[in-house]
A and B are shown apart, each in its own frame.
Chain A
Amino acid sequence: DAMVIQNPRYQVTQFGKPVTLSCSQTLNHNVMYWYQQKSSQAPKLLFHYYDKDFNNEADTPDNFQSRRPNTSFCFLDIRSPGLGDAAMYLCATSRGGADGYTFGSGTRLTVV
Protein backbone atom coordinates (compact mmCIF):
# COMPACT_ATOMS: atom_id res chain seq x y z
CA ASP A 1 0.00 0.00 0.00
CA ALA A 2 1.16 3.53 -0.76
CA MET A 3 2.03 5.23 2.45
CA VAL A 4 4.21 7.56 4.50
CA ILE A 5 6.74 5.84 6.73
CA GLN A 6 8.63 7.43 9.58
CA ASN A 7 11.65 5.87 11.18
CA PRO A 8 12.29 5.25 13.92
CA ARG A 9 8.98 5.21 15.79
CA TYR A 10 10.75 6.07 19.04
CA GLN A 11 14.08 7.86 19.31
CA VAL A 12 16.07 8.60 22.43
CA THR A 13 18.95 11.02 22.08
CA GLN A 14 21.35 12.72 24.45
CA PHE A 15 21.22 16.41 25.18
CA GLY A 16 23.31 18.18 22.54
CA LYS A 17 23.89 15.09 20.37
CA PRO A 18 22.76 15.55 16.73
CA VAL A 19 19.85 13.39 15.69
CA THR A 20 18.17 12.70 12.35
CA LEU A 21 14.59 11.61 11.82
CA SER A 22 13.54 10.19 8.49
CA CYS A 23 10.37 10.13 6.42
CA SER A 24 9.76 8.24 3.20
CA GLN A 25 6.76 8.11 0.91
CA THR A 26 5.59 5.88 -1.91
CA LEU A 27 2.84 8.29 -3.01
CA ASN A 28 5.05 10.42 -5.29
CA HIS A 29 3.60 13.54 -3.68
CA ASN A 30 5.21 16.88 -4.43
CA VAL A 31 4.93 18.36 -0.96
CA MET A 32 6.41 17.02 2.27
CA TYR A 33 5.82 18.65 5.65
CA TRP A 34 7.43 18.35 9.06
CA TYR A 35 5.34 19.12 12.14
CA GLN A 36 6.42 19.26 15.77
CA GLN A 37 3.81 18.31 18.35
CA LYS A 38 4.57 18.75 22.04
CA SER A 39 2.52 16.96 24.64
CA SER A 40 -1.18 17.93 24.61
CA GLN A 41 -0.57 20.67 22.04
CA ALA A 42 -1.48 21.23 18.41
CA PRO A 43 0.98 20.18 15.71
CA LYS A 44 3.15 23.10 14.64
CA LEU A 45 4.59 23.31 11.13
CA LEU A 46 8.37 23.54 11.08
CA PHE A 47 8.98 23.57 7.32
CA HIS A 48 7.88 22.05 4.06
CA TYR A 49 9.20 21.24 0.62
CA TYR A 50 7.46 21.59 -2.69
CA ASP A 51 9.69 19.34 -4.75
CA LYS A 52 13.10 20.84 -3.95
CA ASP A 53 11.73 24.25 -3.01
CA PHE A 54 12.31 24.61 0.75
CA ASN A 55 9.99 26.74 2.90
CA ASN A 56 10.96 27.49 6.47
CA GLU A 57 8.42 28.81 8.99
CA ALA A 58 9.53 32.14 10.46
CA ASP A 59 9.62 30.84 14.03
CA THR A 60 11.38 27.54 13.36
CA PRO A 61 14.60 27.51 15.43
CA ASP A 62 17.92 27.41 13.57
CA ASN A 63 18.65 24.19 15.44
CA PHE A 64 16.25 22.44 13.05
CA GLN A 65 17.30 21.67 9.50
CA SER A 66 15.81 19.57 6.74
CA ARG A 67 16.99 17.76 3.63
CA ARG A 68 15.08 16.29 0.74
CA PRO A 69 17.51 14.38 -1.47
CA ASN A 70 14.77 13.04 -3.74
CA THR A 71 10.98 12.86 -4.06
CA SER A 72 10.67 9.89 -1.75
CA PHE A 73 12.74 10.92 1.25
CA CYS A 74 12.83 13.84 3.64
CA PHE A 75 14.98 14.17 6.75
CA LEU A 76 14.71 16.30 9.86
CA ASP A 77 18.05 17.11 11.50
CA ILE A 78 18.25 18.51 15.00
CA ARG A 79 21.77 19.80 15.42
CA SER A 80 21.90 20.16 19.19
CA PRO A 81 18.76 18.78 20.82
CA GLY A 82 17.63 20.40 24.03
CA LEU A 83 15.16 19.11 26.57
CA GLY A 84 12.54 21.39 25.03
CA ASP A 85 12.82 19.57 21.71
CA ALA A 86 11.27 16.42 23.14
CA ALA A 87 8.09 15.96 21.12
CA MET A 88 6.27 13.91 18.52
CA TYR A 89 7.51 14.73 15.03
CA LEU A 90 4.98 14.16 12.27
CA CYS A 91 5.73 13.94 8.58
CA ALA A 92 2.95 14.49 6.06
CA THR A 93 2.71 14.56 2.29
CA SER A 94 0.38 16.14 -0.24
CA ARG A 95 0.17 16.89 -3.93
CA GLY A 96 -0.28 20.52 -2.94
CA GLY A 97 -3.07 22.96 -3.64
CA ALA A 98 -6.47 21.58 -2.73
CA ASP A 99 -5.30 18.00 -2.23
CA GLY A 100 -5.57 16.10 1.04
CA TYR A 101 -2.74 14.98 3.31
CA THR A 102 -1.26 11.67 4.30
CA PHE A 103 0.46 11.52 7.67
CA GLY A 104 3.10 9.11 8.88
CA SER A 105 2.82 7.45 12.28
CA GLY A 106 5.25 9.93 13.81
CA THR A 107 8.55 9.69 15.67
CA ARG A 108 8.44 10.30 19.38
CA LEU A 109 11.71 11.95 20.41
CA THR A 110 13.00 11.83 23.95
CA VAL A 111 16.01 13.92 25.00
CA VAL A 112 17.96 12.72 28.05
Chain B
Amino acid sequence: EVQLVESGGGVVQPGGSLRLSCADSGSTFDDYTMHWVRQAPGKGLEWVSLINWDGSTTYYADSVKGRFTISRDNSKKSLFLHMNSLRSEDTAFYYCAKSVRYGSGRGDWFDPWGQGTLVTVSS
Protein backbone atom coordinates (compact mmCIF):
# COMPACT_ATOMS: atom_id res chain seq x y z
CA GLU B 1 0.00 0.00 0.00
CA VAL B 2 1.09 3.59 -0.59
CA GLN B 3 2.30 5.01 2.72
CA LEU B 4 3.95 8.33 1.80
CA VAL B 5 2.29 10.75 -0.61
CA GLU B 6 3.98 13.97 -1.73
CA SER B 7 2.11 17.04 -3.01
CA GLY B 8 2.65 20.71 -3.74
CA GLY B 9 4.80 20.48 -6.83
CA GLY B 10 4.24 22.71 -9.83
CA VAL B 11 5.72 25.34 -12.09
CA VAL B 12 7.36 28.36 -10.45
CA GLN B 13 9.46 31.22 -11.79
CA PRO B 14 13.14 31.61 -10.87
CA GLY B 15 13.41 33.37 -7.52
CA GLY B 16 9.99 32.11 -6.48
CA SER B 17 8.86 29.94 -3.59
CA LEU B 18 7.02 26.68 -3.15
CA ARG B 19 6.02 24.44 -0.24
CA LEU B 20 6.04 20.67 -0.64
CA SER B 21 4.12 18.34 1.67
CA CYS B 22 4.44 14.63 2.43
CA ALA B 23 1.55 12.85 4.13
CA ASP B 24 2.15 9.60 5.99
CA SER B 25 -0.66 7.05 6.21
CA GLY B 26 1.41 4.76 8.45
CA SER B 27 0.87 4.43 12.18
CA THR B 28 4.18 5.60 13.67
CA PHE B 29 5.25 8.81 11.92
CA ASP B 30 6.95 10.35 14.95
CA ASP B 31 9.26 7.34 15.44
CA TYR B 32 11.11 8.20 12.25
CA THR B 33 13.62 10.63 10.84
CA MET B 34 12.28 12.04 7.57
CA HIS B 35 14.18 12.98 4.43
CA TRP B 36 13.72 14.79 1.14
CA VAL B 37 15.59 13.40 -1.89
CA ARG B 38 15.39 14.79 -5.42
CA GLN B 39 16.08 13.64 -8.96
CA ALA B 40 16.67 16.22 -11.69
CA PRO B 41 15.71 15.26 -15.26
CA GLY B 42 18.18 12.71 -16.61
CA LYS B 43 20.20 12.75 -13.38
CA GLY B 44 20.60 10.52 -10.33
CA LEU B 45 19.30 10.75 -6.79
CA GLU B 46 20.46 13.65 -4.61
CA TRP B 47 19.79 13.82 -0.87
CA VAL B 48 18.35 17.23 0.06
CA SER B 49 17.53 17.42 3.76
CA LEU B 50 16.61 15.53 6.92
CA ILE B 51 14.66 16.27 10.09
CA ASN B 52 14.76 14.11 13.20
CA TRP B 53 11.71 12.77 14.99
CA ASP B 54 10.89 15.89 17.01
CA GLY B 55 12.24 18.53 14.65
CA SER B 56 15.13 19.49 16.89
CA THR B 57 17.79 18.46 14.35
CA THR B 58 17.89 19.38 10.66
CA TYR B 59 20.59 19.02 8.01
CA TYR B 60 20.77 20.24 4.43
CA ALA B 61 22.77 19.58 1.30
CA ASP B 62 25.11 22.45 0.47
CA SER B 63 23.17 23.02 -2.78
CA VAL B 64 20.03 24.10 -0.86
CA LYS B 65 21.40 25.42 2.43
CA GLY B 66 19.99 28.84 3.28
CA ARG B 67 17.19 28.54 0.70
CA PHE B 68 15.21 25.45 1.79
CA THR B 69 13.67 24.73 5.21
CA ILE B 70 12.46 21.32 6.33
CA SER B 71 9.76 21.00 9.00
CA ARG B 72 7.23 18.48 10.29
CA ASP B 73 3.90 18.33 12.11
CA ASN B 74 3.70 15.04 13.98
CA SER B 75 0.07 15.66 14.99
CA LYS B 76 -0.84 15.66 11.28
CA LYS B 77 1.75 13.02 10.30
CA SER B 78 3.12 15.43 7.73
CA LEU B 79 6.52 16.56 6.46
CA PHE B 80 7.18 19.82 4.64
CA LEU B 81 9.86 21.43 2.50
CA HIS B 82 9.74 25.20 2.17
CA MET B 83 11.72 26.21 -0.91
CA ASN B 84 12.73 29.83 -1.48
CA SER B 85 14.92 31.58 -4.07
CA LEU B 86 14.30 28.75 -6.49
CA ARG B 87 16.72 28.24 -9.39
CA SER B 88 16.44 26.32 -12.64
CA GLU B 89 18.75 23.68 -11.20
CA ASP B 90 16.15 22.93 -8.51
CA THR B 91 13.89 21.45 -11.20
CA ALA B 92 13.39 17.84 -10.15
CA PHE B 93 11.11 15.17 -8.78
CA TYR B 94 11.12 15.49 -4.98
CA TYR B 95 10.67 12.35 -2.87
CA CYS B 96 10.11 11.99 0.85
CA ALA B 97 11.43 8.95 2.69
CA LYS B 98 11.66 7.53 6.22
CA SER B 99 14.64 6.24 8.15
CA VAL B 100 15.57 5.22 11.67
CA ARG B 101 18.71 7.07 12.80
CA TYR B 102 20.51 5.73 15.81
CA GLY B 103 22.60 7.66 18.32
CA SER B 104 25.72 7.72 16.14
CA GLY B 105 23.80 9.17 13.20
CA ARG B 106 25.24 6.43 11.02
CA GLY B 107 23.95 3.26 9.47
CA ASP B 108 20.38 4.04 8.55
CA TRP B 109 18.51 3.39 5.31
CA PHE B 110 15.55 4.94 3.53
CA ASP B 111 12.34 2.92 3.52
CA PRO B 112 9.68 3.51 2.38
CA TRP B 113 9.73 6.31 -0.19
CA GLY B 114 6.90 8.25 -1.77
CA GLN B 115 6.30 8.41 -5.52
CA GLY B 116 7.42 12.01 -5.78
CA THR B 117 6.13 15.41 -6.82
CA LEU B 118 7.55 17.40 -9.74
CA VAL B 119 8.92 20.91 -9.26
CA THR B 120 9.69 22.88 -12.42
CA VAL B 121 11.50 26.21 -12.13
CA SER B 122 11.09 28.10 -15.36
CA SER B 123 10.17 31.53 -16.65
Do A and B pair up? The answer is no
- Which B residues form the contact surface with A (CB < 8 A)? none
- Which A residues form the contact surface with B (CB < 8 A)? none
